[in-house]
Amino acid sequence: MRVNRKALLRGTGRAAAVVAVAAAAAGAVVAGMLVTLPSQAVEPPSALVQPAESRQLRVCPGPLLELAGDSADATSTSSVGTAAVAIAADPADAVVDQSPVEAPDNTAADVDGGPVAISAEPGTVAGGMLAAAQAQRASAESLSGLAAAACAEPAAESWLVAGATDVGRSGLVLLANPGQVASTVDVRVIGETGTVEAPGALGIVVAPGTQRVVSLAGLAPNVRSTVVHVTSAGSPIAASLQHSVVIGLDAAGVELSTPTALPAERQVIPGFTVVDARGVDPQEDHAEGDDHPAVRLYAPGGGEVAAVVRVLDATGSEVGLVDVSLVDGQVSDVPLGTLAAGRYTVVVDADAPVVAAARSTVQRAGDAPVMADLAWHAATGPLLERAAVAVPQAPSPVLHLANPGAEPVTATVIAGASERELTLEGGTASSVEVQPGERVVLQDVQGLHASLTFGEPEAIAAMPVAPPGPLDAPVRVYPQ
């Protein structure tokens, strides 16, 4: 066969041209991938909407309770004195109602009183600007110490990070239903070995307008580190946990813990107070007992979770750092080492949501180092633009503000007739002494975290300053 040489050369040239064009196109694509192109992000339009004001409600847990105070009934509880309640609202002259919540499980409620529901009708106070708190000093044979508690907003879900049920430790879970319909409550207890099987803790019916008291030891005996998850169907529940300690034959502390911040990858514990320098090395495998600074952590999502615990002083300087590996489904008490006497902010950063609270203690005067009282400092949620704080009748109250963010915040603290402006640089904290029974209003505090602490020789207590629940919080709306 005769080959046309010119046609062959023309075809070969065309093929080469096609290959060259393809190579050039591919090169252009690769070059385009390597060149950094200008980027532009458009923030979708949105508006921050304040929901219509609803009836605001806070519930105070009531007086401290002693288990088996009635020798004829080993499962009964009875109060040991009364709790003093303080209320703060904005405006100051707002009409606020107080209604007793029946306490059928307290055999002395007719004498000492019980839980109290604090409420304000829509339009009476600004959104979220209602607060209440209680405090009580107990000195009984099996119950001694100072306990303070913020009166909580009822919720369908609460996390109580505190307590123990091993030798000398007891706990009571307090479930108050201030609503008008019954509530069915599940109480799940998690400890250092995982979730405790307690069928009797599921489906607890709390009648409207009443408080039920559940023994923590009855649900989870001999547990060193407890986290209690309370969920309810029907009326929301105001949950709290009373934790008391007896060492030998002597009562050695009591605290009332209200819900901690909901699970999140970052938790902030402001105002963590250490009265005198002592502690346990964070690497200690057997840091037993209560008498050392520690943080309690639990990751509800399961799996292995890595966390970093940082202890910051008021200037933001890091005075403690602990790397923690949380075991799947188990609660961990992490010693914070030996800390000098002072006030700190504890910041927990984890790679999955966790709940957290920190424990501090105070010793009895004398040569023998025996614990006299303890406090649980709950992690708090970030505040909104404004907040009301009720200071209960307890000794030496101190308001703590912490700024875990990077930008400075200038806040205003109005306490009684005085007004004070505080500038908190990123990572720093500040403390303000206030008066027992005082009404405090915080302004321009968005993103800050706050708590109250109290103390005197051989007594210590702490309570969180929580932002309002989702019903009173503003909502960001994005139009379609």
How sure is the predictor about 476, in pLDDT bands with cuts at 50, 70 and 90? Answer: low
pLDDT of residue 8: 37
Query: What whole-number distance in Å separates Cα of residue 204 and Cα of residue 232?
Result: 9
With contact defined as beta carbons under 8 Å apart, do 436 and 394 qualify? yes
Sketch the domain layout of the chain as residue ranges: 48-477
Asked if the model's pLDDT at residue 336 lies above 90, the reply is yes
Between 400 and 338, name the one with better pLDDT: 400
For residue range 36-61, list pLDDT tens digits in order.
445 455 567 766 555 556 689 999 99
**pLDDT-derived band at 24, boundaries 50, 70, 90:** very low
List CB contacts of 166: < 8 A, sequence separation 6 or more: 222, 223, 224
Q: In what order do the strands lie in the sheet with 429-433?
A: 429-433, 398-402, 449-456, 459-465
Q: CA-CA distance, 252 to 245, in Å (whole number)?
A: 5
On average, the pLDDT of the chain sits at 87
Residue 400: the pLDDT is: 98
The more confident residue out of 479 and 28 is: 479
| pLDDT above 50 for 18 | no
- 141: CB partners within 8 A, 6+ apart: 251
Q: In this structure, what are the phi and psi dihedrals at residue 2, rounded to the nearest 5 degrees? A: -90, 130
Residue that wins the pLDDT comparison between 27 and 188: 188
Q: What is the pTM of this model?
A: 0.85
Q: Which residue has the higher pLDDT, 479 or 413?
A: 413
- pLDDT (0 to 100) of residue 170: 92
Q: Whats the size of the chain, residue-wise? A: 480
Model pLDDT, residue 42: 59
Residue 335 and residue 427 in contact, taking contact as beta carbons nearer than 8 Å: no
pLDDT computed for residue 40 by the predictor: 54
For residue 270, pLDDT over 90 is answered with yes
Instruction: Express each pLDDT in 431-456 by its tens digit.
Output: 999 999 999 999 999 999 999 999 99
Reported confidence tier of residue 244, pLDDT bands at 50, 70, 90: very high
Output the pLDDT for position 416.
Answer: 86
* Amino acid, single-letter form, for residue 320: G
Provide the pLDDT for residue 45: 72
Burial 78-94 (b: 16+ CB within 10 A, else e): bbbbbbbbbbbbbeeeb
For tokens 């640089």, what's the residue? 425
pLDDT bucket at 31, cuts 50 / 70 / 90:
very low
Cα 418 from chain centroid?
A: 29
d(CA 399, CA 450): 7
Q: What pLDDT, on a 0 to 100 scale, did the predictor assign at position 280?
A: 77
